[in-house]
A and B are shown apart, each in its own frame.
Chain A
Amino acid sequence: MCLAVPMTIKRVEGNRALAEAYGVERFVNIVMMPEVSVGDRVIIHAGFVIERLDPESAREMEAAWDEYHRALGDDGTTGRPDGE
């Protein structure tokens, strides 16, 4: 039961914050992540911020794939299956 969506914090008011995604806004509860601040990317589940998205890891998929291809001995620059 884990439908959770990424949103961006627009405003913080006490134990709640206005969060936005795709132009949709909702007040969300931040008791589980009170240190959020404006501009943070967070994940929302059932009206609560359950975690802050780590911007450092945002490109993890690309990084992980690069690592994957390297490990398989692909050429790191031209070996991507789509020829990127």
Chain B
Amino acid sequence: MDDDGIKSQAGALRSLRLERELRIMEVCGTHTTEFFRTGVRGLFPEKLSLIDGPGCPVCVTPNDYLDRAIEISHVHGVIVATFGDMVKVPSSYSSLGRERAGGLSLEVVYSPLDALELAAARPENQVVFLSVGFETTAPTEAATVLAAAERGIKNFSILCGNKLTPPAVKALLDSGETAIDGFILPGHVSAITGLDPWRFAAEDYGKPCVVAGFEAGDLILGVVTLLRMIDEGRNAVKNAYRRAVRDDGNVRAREIMYRVFEACEANWRGLGIIPGSGLALREEYFEFDAEKRFPVTPPPAREHAGCRCGELLRGLIAPTDCGLFGKACTPENAVGPCMVSSEGPCSAYYLYGGL
């Protein structure tokens, strides 16, 4: 859509009049950032609040995961390969970036396959890939494990930290802590999962849901569609990103994902342990499990005093409600992961919320 078209849709959003306070939640960190970056957030009508959900995999990764990664990195010959997103995230006592200054071998990769190639090229080293991400990313990591098995690359392993999003949304609704009128669902997660895993939110909990894309026009369309569904009391899951999301998702991607992984309980920052919300390697692929290959004992995990990332990820507070926000906790010296991740809500508020 051209700029003029989007400006006209922006006008439509801005001119909406709401009869009551409405709270909608996005469950995707990329949405958090894009709502700010495109300027769409500034177009919201009065009485509309956007709550940031637990949609940033970096933010919901608990400290003990990074503590373990750092401990494994101390094993002789280990190279840690990771998406750039994880480099600055604080662990209990440090971060990968800080550890690199102390000698940790760190490679930032764009694709998990790049980490596998690194292992193939460096047979004298052990490459440990930090496997994080939601349903969008997990199949790429599963496919990489399959490739490693097929090519017989023995010096490659992954540290599983993957999470599944619908169980987290369910846990959030079950907690009953936050009043939410509807959900903007993650576009690229849904491209893999399809719409079915989200129907519980509409059907069992009475929350209208819209799958949205990421361009300014997509965001506006998603919000306007959701507001209309709320207004009409239409408790359904609507797909407003049909060019990329099929109703049944990507069946083959899920097949690859579940050939390698199986669902397990997982610990989410803020939400705690949620059954069936994580992914673990299946027994056939245990040899690629870094946790088994490197049986280290990380120091006891600790949370940072005063950090309210947990409450934020449950939608209970806004970033600016936290006493550390912008003071003790800034992106360059982050206390909590929501400030350091590029798609963390605190980071987005800090960088884009000041105008």
Instruction: Please judge, given known A-B contacts A57-B243, A68-B224, whether A32 and B191 are in contact too, CB under 8 Å.
Output: no
Tally of contacts, chain A with chain B, CB under 8 A: 126
Q: Are B224 and A50 in contact (CB under 8 A)?
A: no
Q: Are A58 and B221 in contact (CB under 8 A)?
A: no
- B15: chain A residues at CB < 8 Å are 81
Q: Are B11 and A2 in contact (CB under 8 A)?
A: no
Does A13 have its Cβ within 8 Å of any Cβ on chain B?
Answer: no
Q: How far is the CB of B257 from chain A (nearest CB, A)?
A: 9
- Classify chain B: how many residues form its interface, as a range: 35 or more
Q: Are B228 and A68 in contact (CB under 8 A)?
A: yes
Does B271 have its Cβ within 8 Å of any Cβ on chain A?
Answer: no
Does B169 have its Cβ within 8 Å of any Cβ on chain A?
Answer: no
> In the complex, A65 Cα to B9 Cα: how many Å?
8
- Classify chain A: how many residues form its interface, as a range: 20 to 34
| CB proximity to B under 8 Å, residues A53-67 | 53-54, 57-58, 60-62, 64-65
> In the complex, A2 Cα to B187 Cα: how many Å?
8
Closest residue on chain A to residue B114 by CB atoms: A47
Q: How far is the CB of B330 from chain A (nearest CB, A)?
A: 22
Q: Are B186 and A2 in contact (CB under 8 A)?
A: yes
Does B339 have its Cβ within 8 Å of any Cβ on chain A?
Answer: no
> In the complex, A3 Cα to B252 Cα: how many Å?
20
| CB proximity to B under 8 Å, residues A29-83 | 29, 31-34, 43, 45-48, 50-51, 53-54, 57-58, 60-62, 64-65, 68, 71, 80-82
> In the complex, A4 Cα to B140 Cα: how many Å?
12
- A82: chain B residues at CB < 8 Å are 4-5, 7-8, 11
14 CB contacts below 8 A, A to B, read A1-B29, A1-B133, A2-B30, A31-B146, A32-B250, A45-B136, A46-B133, A46-B137, A47-B114, A47-B140, A50-B250, A60-B243, A62-B5, A81-B8
Using a CB–CB cutoff of 8 Å, the interface residues on chain B facing chain A are 1, 4-5, 7-9, 11-12, 15, 28-30, 56-58, 83, 85, 110-114, 132-134, 136-137, 139-140, 143, 146, 186-189, 191-192, 214, 217-218, 221, 224-225, 228, 240-246, 250, 252-253, 256, 343
Using a CB–CB cutoff of 8 Å, the interface residues on chain A facing chain B are 1-4, 29, 31-34, 43, 45-48, 50-51, 53-54, 57-58, 60-62, 64-65, 68, 71, 80-82, 84
